Structure formats: structure tokens, C-alpha cells
Structure 1
């Protein structure tokens, strides 16, 4: 540690996280543009018709920005700081596409209620098993890419602020581990299917893990529509029907950001979130040069600090 409390490789960690954040936010904004009548969206996908800009990002990116800021300021997930930033960004712009439960949680945080009580009391005291913990976490996996045990612990802590349910936390862990592995893949290019093995090794037992096991068994050459049918693509907006499909899409196109996003959006479902997750992972494996410059230019500028 330095005298500032930051590790000597803080700048390198930040650079990785910012790359993942760009991938996540472009994917988020790209996917959001496909919430159209299915026939129209399908025609755009078939023709590879890039949506007209500008592309606004959603709550997926808004919350990922908070995670990156907390990591930059603290070098870890300080849950109190993260809850405050979630509340601040929500108060400043509540119209980013937050779901109903997220509105309830964030409004309570804005009123100063403790996050531990709020996170634990939703859905009758079970907590949320939604995909919100997963959609925002890829930059955290990038930050701690050199230590998968740390990735697991920090991902769980990041999810717990809003997702008390173990499935909501499992989804965050799986995606953070996938992002960390993607960063490593860029250097050594192991077989893409190793992604499933590493993610499964670190994902806690439960429905999300079972979905990942199904994803591992699905050929990467399968049609995205079949994968979406078998795994779900976020239609239920929960971890178990979002994370497995997203990991499958990322594994299919580790070296090509653009193709990864077209594949992901063709599963429809919760398309901004699946594209945010896949974008945050594949930006790390394919590199910044794989994100089309026109897509980066179309995405609205990021307000990185609250």
C-alpha cells in the first residue's frame, strides 16, 4: 500500500475497470435501442442495422459507475459508500429505467434508511434474486482480476447492498469471475469452454449455478434463439434466467465484441441488461480496439463521478 492507501497497481486496476465499464455501458445503451416491436427488432438484427444515435444508457450503467467510483476511492467495496452513491445517482436521475423494486430500495436509501434493513426486507424478507447485482459488476471483476477469491468476496459485497437473496449475489459472483477470467484470456487464449469451468467453480450452489451447468452443456455453435429458449434471456429479470445466457454469449465470442453484442441482443428478453453484462466481459477479452468507435461515439458521455 502507498501512503494514499492505494496499491501500487491502482492505476492498472482502474484502467481495466474503465475498459470493462466502456464495454458494459456501450452494450447497455446498444441493447436498450432494441426495445421495439419484435418484428422490427428482428429485422434490425438480421440486417445488422446499427441503431441511430445517440444511445442513452440505463440504470445498469448508472450503478456500474457507482461501483467503479467506490473502487477508485477505496480500493475495495465499501458498502456504506456504495449505498450512498447508489442513492445519490438515483436522486439525481431516477428515470434511468430502474425496476419497481429498485425504485423502492433506492428511494428508501435516499431517505437515509440503512441499506442492510432495506435490502433484507424486500419480497417478504427474502431479498431480491434479480439480475441487478450481475448487470453492474463486470468492472469489479476487472479490478480484482488477479485474485479470484477476492473477486468472489467483493462481488458478494457489492450485490448485498441491494440484493440480500443468495441468488442475486450468486449472479454477481458469476459475472465478476467471468470478467476476471476474460481479462486473463486475452493474454493466454485458453479454450473458451474453460470460462464455464472457472465460473462454476466459484458460483455458489443454487438455481443460477444450475443454469450455468445447462449453459456449459449447450454447444457454442447453437443458435442464440435456442440458447435463449433453453436458458432464458432475462425475461423474468432474475439472476437464474439472465446470467447463464450472458455467460454463454460471452464464451461464444470472446475475441469479438461486436459479434458478441449482436448475438446477445438476438435473444431479446432483458436486452439492455444481457448486452451490458456481455459487453462488460468481452471488452476485457477482445480489447478496447474491438469496441466499434462509432458505437462509443453513439453512447451518451458517462458522468463518471457523482
Structure 2
């Protein structure tokens, strides 16, 4: 049996990070940096995006199957997309989910993306933290299930590596691994890829490094790829493992794909901390998750 409690906590942190990060979109980078530095928040409500919508499907399949059933996960993604396609899905993901919804085999759809290379976007990584929390007691299982979840929409090895990295980071967070050990432990389980190489690079940086400097070295999602998103997000989480609020502020500072970097960071940290310490007005502003995630009596 998986650790559903930790998975739900990770999902709640992911959704908060996603919604918080989305508030910074459509602003010039210099405005973001100034507003983050002054801790100026946008008034609610803060809706979440495709990051959370797809993470909800991951949790639903784990609830129903106790593992990643790829056919069921593909169908769940397509169903959620058809019900609400206006969650800021990426351009290629529109094509993928429409095709799957029309009955095309997911493996054929994902393999033909980007002239047959498959997508190396950050979508497989952004949604996977609850899975890492669910299987936290077995890191080999975490890596295997994360890879299976990635393949449903992303056929490129870098996307798989990104999903494995985030899932393992979330699992290690739940297990209480110290922040100064987390990046190295994640890198040890990531395939030999550029994601792995950049993770190792961030592991050599001091915890007090400026997030803008780290983003300049490894990216912060401007290319919407696993390569330029995951290493930065894992570093931000590792250097703020016990303070979700500060982690989100730090993650947003350089700009980039802020909803996704913050979703990843929120998912990794909250599996360990829950939403403890998060300001009440943030929780009120964030769009709530569906009741099935955690029925009112269980909250």
C-alpha cells in the first residue's frame, strides 16, 4: 500500500506552487524580480494550471490501481483535458491529448512528437511529485513508476530523467533526507543525461547561492524543457526543504516557467512538511482541489 497521506500533501504543495507561480506570468522579468523582492503578491483567486490537472490524474490512477497503469493514465489525462482544456497546456500537449482522446494509441502519439524524437518538455516532471511520495519507501519503485508515468506523454530520455529526478527528490523529502544530501542522492538515481549532469552541477553550489545565479547556470524553465527546469527546481527545493513559503519566493525570483518550477518545488517539499507555515491568505487564494482528493471529514 502506498503512502497516500504523503502523496496528498505533495499534491497540495504542488497545486499551491502552481497557482502561486502562475500569478507571475505575463509580467516582464524585471517586474517579477522587483515584486518578488518586495514580497508583493497578486490578490486571489489563484487558479492552478495543467501541472495540477495532470497531477490529479496521476493520483487518481494510483488510487485505482496502486501503480502506474499506462493505458489508464493516458485515458485519465485525455479525459481531464477534454473536460477542461483551458488550463494552460503546452502546444504539443494539446495535440497529444486530443489524439489520445480520439482513440489513438498513446505510445504511437508520443513517439511521433518532434519529428520522432518525442517531447523533452517539463510536463512529465511537473506532475510526478505525488507519485514519488506515494512510493517513498522503495526508491527503485519510485524511479520505475516515474519512468512509466513519463512515457505516456513524453518519449524523450531527458523528459524521463526529469520525471525520475523529481519523483526521487519527493520520495527522499518524505523520508527526511537532509537538504545537503538530497541533490547528490537524486543524481545517483537519474540516468546519464543532461538533466543528471546539471543536477550534479547544482549539487556543488552552496545552499546560500543566489537563485538568479543558479538559474543562469542551469536554466529556470525558459525553454520549457526538462533539462532547463528540473535541476533548478530540485536545487531550490533542496535548499529550502523545511520552509515551503521561502522556497516558493526563492524559486520565483529569476522568472522563467514559474508555475512549473514552483509546482515541482511545492510537490517535493510539501510531502515532508504539508502546508505548515504557509500564510493563511495564500491558502485562501489558491484554487481548492476536488473533494475526492481528501474528503472534508478527513481534512
Q: TM-score, normalising length from structure 1?
A: 0.93
Note if 1:22 corresponds to 2:12. yes
Contact 1:250 1:282 survives alignment (8 Å):
yes
> Could you tell me how far 1:126 is from its partner in structure 2?
1.0
> Could you tell me how far 1:289 is from its partner in structure 2?
1.2
> Which residue of structure 1 lines up, in the alignment, with residue 208 of structure 2?
221
> Could you tell me how far 1:227 is from its partner in structure 2?
0.7
Q: Secondary structure at the match of 2:81?
A: helix
| Counterpart among 134, 151, 172 of residue 142 in structure 2 | 151
Identify, as 1 or 2, the structure richer in helix: 1
Q: Which runs of 5+ in 1 are unaligned?
A: 1-6
> Which residue of structure 2 lines up, in the alignment, with residue 273 of structure 1?
260
> Could you tell me how far 1:288 is from its partner in structure 2?
2.8
For residues 65-101 of structure 1, give each alpha carbon's deviation from its aligned partner in whole angstroms, at most 9, with x where no partner exists.
0000000111111111100110011001111101111
> Which residue of structure 2 lines up, in the alignment, with residue 3 of structure 1?
none
> Which residue of structure 2 lines up, in the alignment, with residue 58 of structure 1?
49
> Could you tell me how far 1:141 is from its partner in structure 2?
0.4
Q: Secondary structure at the match of 2:96?
A: helix
- Cα distance in 1 for partners of 2:278, 2:109 equals 37
Distance of aligned partners of 1:114 and 1:305 in 2 relative to their CA distance in 1, 3 Å threshold: farther
- Cα distance in 1 for partners of 2:42, 2:9 equals 22
Contact 1:65 1:305 survives alignment (8 Å):
no
Contact 1:65 1:304 survives alignment (8 Å):
no
Q: Secondary structure at the match of 2:44?
A: coil
Note if 1:119 corresponds to 2:110. yes
For residues 190-246 of structure 1, give each alpha carbon's deviation from its aligned partner in whole angstroms, at most 9, with x where no partner exists.
542210121011100011101101111122211111011011000111111101000
* Aligned residues: CA RMSD: 1.3
- Cα distance in 2 for partners of 1:284, 1:91 equals 29
Q: Secondary structure at the match of 2:248?
A: helix
Note if 1:33 corresponds to 2:23. yes
Q: Secondary structure at the match of 2:118?
A: coil
After superposition, where does 1:281-300 map in structure 2 within 5 Å? 281-300=268-287
Contact 1:283 1:290 survives alignment (8 Å):
no
Aligned length: 292
> Could you tell me how far 1:305 is from its partner in structure 2?
5.8
Contact 2:184 2:200 survives alignment (8 Å):
no
- Cα distance in 2 for partners of 1:89, 1:46 equals 36
Q: TM-score, normalising length from structure 2?
A: 0.95
